[in-house]
Structure 1
Amino acid sequence: MRIILSTGILSLLVAVSGFSDNSVRRFKDGFLFGAASAAYQVEGAWNEDGKGRSIWDDHFHSDPDQGPAPGDVASDSYHNYKRDVEMLRELGVDVYRFSISWPRVLPRGFSNVKNEPGLKYYDNLIDELLKYNIQPMVTIYHFDLPVVLQHLGGWANPYSVEWFEDYARVLFDRYARKVKYWITVNQPNSVCEVENYENHLARSTKGVMDYMCAKNLLLAHARTYRMYEKEYKKKYGGSIGISISVNWAEPVTNSTENVEAAEIYREFKYGMYLNPIWSKSGDFPKLVKDRVAKKSKEQGFARSRLQSLSKDDIKLIKGSADFLGLNHYTTFLTSPSKGSHPVPSFADDVSVDVTTKDEWTQSHSAWLKSAPYGLYKACLHLNKHYDYPAIFITENGWSTDKGLKDSSRSEYIQQYLKALLFAIEDGTQALGYTHWSLMDNVEWMAGTSERFGLYEVDFDSPERTRTARQSALVYKRIIQKRMVEERWTPKNLKISVSEVKTEL
Structure 2
Amino acid sequence: MHFSLGWFANPIFSLKGNYPADMVTTITSNSVREGRSWSRLPSFTDKWIETIRGTADFLGLNYYTSRIVEPISSQPDGPNPSYQRDMNLKFRIKPEWKKSASDWLYSVPEGIGDILRWIKAEYNNPPVIITENGWSDEGQIEDDDRIVYLHDHLKHILDVILNDETNLKGYTVWSIIDNFEWAQGYTEKFGLYHVNMSSPRKERTAKKSSNFMRLVTTTRKIPKIN
TM-score range, shorter chain: over 0.9
Q: Indicate the SS of the match to 2:102.
A: coil
In the alignment, the residues of structure 1 paired with residue 167 and residue 51 of structure 2 have an alpha-carbon distance, to the nearest angstrom, of 24
> Is 1:375 paired with 2:112?
yes
In the alignment, the residues of structure 2 paired with residue 463 and residue 310 of structure 1 have an alpha-carbon distance, to the nearest angstrom, of 54
Q: What residue in structure 1 maps to residue 220 of structure 2?
A: 482
Distance 1:298 1:342, change over 3 A: closer
Contact 2:141/2:208 (CA < 8 Å) preserved in 1?
yes
Q: What residue in structure 1 maps to residue 168 of structure 2?
A: 430
In the alignment, the residues of structure 1 paired with residue 195 and residue 120 of structure 2 have an alpha-carbon distance, to the nearest angstrom, of 38
TM-score, normalised by the number of residues in structure 2: 0.94
In the alignment, the residues of structure 2 paired with residue 415 and residue 342 of structure 1 have an alpha-carbon distance, to the nearest angstrom, of 44
**Higher-Rg member (1/2):** 1
AA at the equivalent of 2:128:
I
Q: Indicate the SS of the match to 1:436.
A: coil
In the alignment, the residues of structure 2 paired with residue 483 and residue 360 of structure 1 have an alpha-carbon distance, to the nearest angstrom, of 26
Q: Which of the two has greater helix per residue?
A: 1
Percent identical pairs in the alignment equals 37
In the alignment, the residues of structure 2 paired with residue 337 and residue 398 of structure 1 have an alpha-carbon distance, to the nearest angstrom, of 31
Q: Indicate the SS of the match to 1:403.
A: coil
Q: Indicate the SS of the match to 2:4.
A: helix
Q: 1:342 offset after TM fit, Å?
A: 7.9
Q: What residue in structure 2 maps to residue 406 of structure 1?
A: 143
Match runs of 1:348-387 below 5 Å? 348-387=85-124
Within the candidate set 289, 312, 323, 2:58 is matched to 323
**Which ranges in structure 2 are unaligned for 5 or more consecutive residues?**
none
Q: Indicate the SS of the match to 2:91.
A: strand
In the alignment, the residues of structure 1 paired with residue 61 and residue 139 of structure 2 have an alpha-carbon distance, to the nearest angstrom, of 27
In the alignment, the residues of structure 1 paired with residue 66 and residue 128 of structure 2 have an alpha-carbon distance, to the nearest angstrom, of 19
**Which ranges in structure 1 are unaligned for 5 or more consecutive residues?**
1-265, 489-504
AA at the equivalent of 2:202:
R
Contact 2:109/2:152 (CA < 8 Å) preserved in 1?
yes
Contact 1:342/1:348 (CA < 8 Å) preserved in 2?
no
Q: CA RMSD, aligned part only?
A: 1.6
**Deviations 1:146-176 (Å, cap 9, x if unpaired)?**
xxxxxxxxxxxxxxxxxxxxxxxxxxxxxxx
AA at the equivalent of 2:177:
M
Match runs of 1:29-428 below 5 Å? 266-337=1-72, 343-425=80-162, 426-428=164-166
Distance 1:400 1:316, change over 3 A: same
Q: What residue in structure 1 maps to residue 197 of structure 2?
A: 459
Within the candidate set 141, 161, 180, 1:442 is matched to 180
In the alignment, the residues of structure 2 paired with residue 379 and residue 290 of structure 1 have an alpha-carbon distance, to the nearest angstrom, of 26
Q: Indicate the SS of the match to 1:432.
A: strand
TM-score, normalised by the number of residues in structure 1: 0.43
Q: Indicate the SS of the match to 1:268.
A: coil
Q: 1:360 offset after TM fit, Å?
A: 1.3
